[in-house]
Amino acid sequence: MKGAVDIIIHTLHVGQSLRVATLTINGKAPARELLEKLRKDDSTKWRQLVARIGHVANNPDCRNQEIFKSLPIGIFEFKRHGIRLYAFFDTLSGIDQQLILCTNGGKKNTPRQQQRDIQKAQGIKQRYFAAKRDKTASFTLIDRP
């Protein structure tokens, strides 16, 4: 990889089975920014999305496609009417729970915009796993929601 990579995993919710967190790579935190903006702009949608995150964290076998949908490329989306928050699964040394790492998201606009958001999530996922293989990458877990 080119240059050192700094990764911050910021816990959103710790459930009975899963930990859900946002992912920051070299200071860029699109999922966290989306959630903060949504909290300011539409607290009802924000609360509903956070409730869905909690539901999935407490129910690892969640198969409700209206809440948490699996996409064919190993990306998942937390869904709330008009909002998508993209994520993927991983494990991290020292954490006894599987992680769901939120990458980015957006409004459910056109299919073209959704595809761009999904491709961005895939790129973030690839960069994250490349950093995990890189001995110079630093990982920080912020354990408070």
Question: What DSSP line would sit under 46-66, residue for residue?
Answer: HHHHHHHHHHHHH-TT---TT
Copy the structure tokens of residue 142.
Answer: 């912020």
Sign of the torsion formed by the C-alpha atoms of 75, 132, 56 and 45: negative
Q: Specify the length of the chain in residues.
A: 145
**Of 121, 88, 106, 82, which is closest to residue 34 (Cα–Cα)?**
106
**Which residue type sits at 105?**
G
Per-residue pLDDT of the chain (145 residues; tens, 9 = 90+): 466 899 999 999 999 889 999 999 999 999 999 999 999 999 999 999 999 999 999 987 777 778 889 998 899 999 888 899 999 999 887 777 788 999 999 887 778 888 999 999 999 999 999 999 988 899 999 987 6
3-state secondary structure (DSSP) of residue 140: strand
Q: Where are the beta strands (DSSP E) in 6-134?
A: 6-14, 18-25, 68-70, 76-80, 83-90, 98-107
Q: Can you give the residue ranges of every domain in the chain?
A: 28-133
| pTM given for the model | 0.91
